[in-house]
Structure 1
Amino acid sequence: MSNVVNLEVEITDLLRRHGSLSVAFLTRFLNERGIFCTRQKVERTLRKLVEQKKVEAFYTNGNKRKHYRLR
């Protein structure tokens, strides 16, 4: 369970630092920080953060990729 909490903290830190990001960029930045995780794990964690209303999901410019930002 502590790994999930750590991943949540890292994701919120990245969103605070970079603004809005897609899952692909979040996964890339996490892997560059040394936190090796898959895209599916990042998506699962983001869904939990959206349910907790800490993060919001939105679409930009008509492309079909979700972006996430802090509330």
Structure 2
Amino acid sequence: MDSTISLESEITNLLRVHGSLSVAFLTRFLNEMGLECTRQKVERTLRRMIQQRKVEAFYTNGNKRKHYRLR
């Protein structure tokens, strides 16, 4: 459970600094920071954060990639 909470806080910090990001960039930045995580783990955490209304998902530029930003 601690890893989930720390992952949520790190994602929140990254979104606060960079604005909106896709799952690929979030995973890349987290791995560069030393947190070993997969894309699936990041997506699962983001879905949980959307349900808690901390983050919102949207599509941009007509591509089919979701981007996430803080509410």
The ranges of structure 1 where at least 4 consecutive aligned residues each deviate by more than 3 angstroms after the TM superposition are none
Structure 1 unaligned blocks of 5 or more: none
Report deviation, 1:4: 0.2
The separation in 2 between residues aligned to 1:6 and 1:61, in whole angstroms, is: 31
Report deviation, 1:24: 0.0
The separation in 2 between residues aligned to 1:36 and 1:20, in whole angstroms, is: 21
Percent sequence identity over aligned pairs: 77
The one-letter code sitting in structure 2 at the alignment partner of 1:20 is: S
Structure 2 unaligned blocks of 5 or more: none
Q: Give a deviation string over 1:13-68, Cα, whole Å, max 9, x none.
A: 00000000000000000000000100000000000000000000000011000000
RMSD: 0.3
What is the number of residues matched between the two proteins?
A: 71
Report deviation, 1:70: 0.2
Report deviation, 1:5: 0.3
